[in-house]
């Protein structure tokens, strides 16, 4: 059987005495059948050959002086009722406390003797150990196994340390890692899985409910947006018709002056919708062009919208062209103004449609337009600038 002490290189015999770094040097002399310690040197101490000593009568060994040595081992243990089993992975932290004792007991394998003593102690200790202490390990097993005081008042660690000292080995600590086989963790694993599945089910249910609620909310908002968009479209259409009626027969400066109050009334209705002062349904009726359309005397002629409407009515309402063309460019211009008045809520598609319509008619009428009219139409084509102008 292999000698563990030798395998771990705790004792090495030299062909002749010589110091080695980080090692004790021990020299023995044969005396009859026995070997007696002749010389013991610590790390770094110089070696001087004993005077008048025959080399054949001397045997030299070196022992590691490293203060922190380790040896790991494991074994499987059963509880006293033989119902549970588990593995302990142990790490012995130690040093060589007495090199001479280690060598003198070398044939009996001091390190293996210490390991066997630890194993024997654990088998007895586990007989009185509650399985739950091993299973749940609420307190470190090192403390439970080795530092639990017996009835005599001493701990298992103290007893093991005393035994190891006699072998020349100084125990510093015994580290413990517990490993349970699969059959011992099946129940706990199943409980964990069930709890995890329950949590997942609750989370997934909450996620589905949240998605459904968000879906309903988004659907409601979409319906509200569609209704408002339809209402805005109706108002925009009515604005066009109202401006058509107000400006259809403009042929002279007097006609423009008569149309301005109507334009102001339309502007007041638009402003009322924008600010929320006038409900959309009421505004749609006001802008329908009926005989009941009120004239808003409070509408400021100095507001950007009023000024622009008057300018559009004055510049485009008197175009010397076919009445249908005049009504078309005037209607599309007013549609463009009405959509731009919505600012950031304006439909880009609607704006592009009216800009394209105005641009097309502008090209057809270019021969009859004066520089002021050309400048006005180009101003209407710049929708971003137009939105900023109307927002002031």
pLDDT (tens, 9 = 90+) of the chain, 392 residues, equals 789 999 999 999 999 888 999 999 999 887 767 778 888 999 988 888 776 677 677 899 999 999 999 999 999 988 877 788 888 999 999 999 999 999 999 999 999 999 999 999 999 888 888 787 787 765 678 888 898 887 677 899 999 999 999 999 999 999 999 888 877 656 566 666 777 878 887 888 888 888 888 888 888 888 888 777 776 676 666 666 666 666 555 554 455 556 656 665 665 555 554 455 555 445 445 444 444 444 333 334 457 887 888 888 888 877 888 888 888 888 888 888 888 888 888 899 999 999 999 888 888 888 888 888 889 999 899 989 998 888 87
CB of 114 within 8 A of CB of 163?
yes
pLDDT at 207: 85
**Cα–Cα distance measured from residue 43 to residue 41, given in angstroms and rounded to the nearest whole number:** 7
Q: What is the pTM of this model?
A: 0.49
| Cα–Cα distance measured from residue 214 to residue 210, given in angstroms and rounded to the nearest whole number | 6
Half-sphere exposure of 170 (CA within 13 A, CB side): 11
In DSSP terms, which residues pair with 58 in a beta bridge?
29
What does the alpha-carbon distance between residue 145 and residue 121 come to, in Å, rounded to a whole number? 9
How far is Cα 273 from Cα 235, in angstroms, rounded to an integer? 9
DSSP string, 109-129: -HHHHHHHHHHHHHHHHHHT-
**Rounded CA gap, 90 and 146, in Å?**
12
DSSP code per residue over 270-309? HHHHHHTSS-HHHHHHHTT--TTPPP-TTS-TTSHHHHHH
How many CB atoms lie under 10 A from the CB of residue 122?
Answer: 21
> Phi and psi (nearest 5°) for 7?
-60, -40
Per DSSP, 80 falls in state: T
Q: How would you classify residue 109: left for phi > 0, otherwise alpha for psi between -120 and 50, otherwise beta?
A: left
Six-digit token string for 389: 């102008």
The CATH number of the domain covering residues in 4-180 = 3.30.479.30
What is the chain's length?
Answer: 392
Write out the residue limits of the CATH 3.30.479.30 domain(s) in the chain: 4-180
Q: What is the pLDDT of residue 294?
A: 41
| 263: Cβ contacts below 8 Å, ≥ 6 apart | 243, 246, 247, 306, 309, 310, 313
List the end-to-end C-alpha distance of the chain, in Å, as a whole number.
101
CA 191 remoteness from chain centre: 28
Cα distances from 20 to residues 10, 174, 301, 345, in angstroms, run 13, 29, 109, 90
96 Cβ neighbours under 8 A, 6+ residues apart: 10, 24, 63, 64, 65, 69, 102, 168, 169, 170
Q: How far is the C-alpha of 101 from the C-alpha of 228, rounded, in Å?
A: 99
């Amino acid at each position: 059987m292999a000698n563990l002490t030798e395998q771990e290189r705790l004792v090495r015999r030299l062909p002749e005495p010589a110091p080695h770094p980080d090692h004790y040097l021990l020299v023995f002399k044969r005396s009859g059948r026995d070997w007696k310690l002749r010389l013991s040197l610590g790390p770094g101490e110089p070696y001087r050959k004993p005077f008048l000593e025959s080399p054949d009568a001397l045997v030299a060994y070196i022992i590691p002086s490293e203060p922190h040595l380790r040896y790991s081992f494991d074994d499987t243990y059963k509880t006293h009722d033989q119902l549970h089993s588990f593995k302990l992975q142990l790490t012995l932290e130690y040093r060589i406390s007495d090199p001479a004792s280690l060598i003198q007991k070398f044939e009996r394998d001091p390190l293996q003797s210490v390991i066997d003593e630890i194993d024997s102690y654990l088998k007895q200790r586990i007989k009185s150990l509650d399985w739950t202490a091993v299973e749940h390990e609420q307190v470190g097993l090192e403390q439970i196994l080795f530092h639990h005081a017996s009835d005599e008042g001493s701990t298992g660690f103290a007893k093991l340390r005393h035994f190891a000292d006699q072998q020349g080995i100084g125990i510093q600590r015994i580290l413990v890692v517990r490993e349970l086989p699969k059959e011992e963790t099946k129940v706990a694993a199943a409980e964990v899985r069930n709890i995890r599945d329950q949590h997942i089910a609750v989370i997934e249910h909450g996620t589905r409910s949240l998605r459904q609620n968000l879906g309903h909310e988004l659907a409601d908002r979409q319906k509200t947006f569609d209704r408002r968009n339809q209402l805005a479209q109706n108002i925009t259409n009515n604005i066009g018709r109202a401006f058509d009626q107000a400006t259809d027969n403009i042929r002279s400066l007097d006609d423009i002056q008569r149309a301005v109050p109507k334009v102001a009334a339309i502007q007041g209705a638009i402003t009322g919708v924008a600010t929320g002062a006038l409900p959309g349904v009421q505004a749609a009726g006001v802008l329908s062009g009926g005989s009941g359309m009120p004239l808003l005397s409070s509408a400021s002629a100095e507001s950007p919208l009023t000024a622009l409407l008057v300018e559009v009515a004055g510049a485009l309402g008197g175009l010397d062209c076919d009445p249908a063309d005049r009504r078309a460019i005037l209607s599309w211009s007013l549609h463009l103004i009405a959509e731009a008045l919505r600012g950031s809520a304006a439909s880009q598609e609607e704006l592009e449609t009216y800009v394209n319509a105005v641009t097309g008619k502008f090209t057809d009428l270019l021969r009859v337009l004066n520089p002021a009219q050309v400048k006005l139409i180009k101003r209407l084509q710049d929708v971003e600038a137009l939105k900023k102008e109307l927002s002031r």
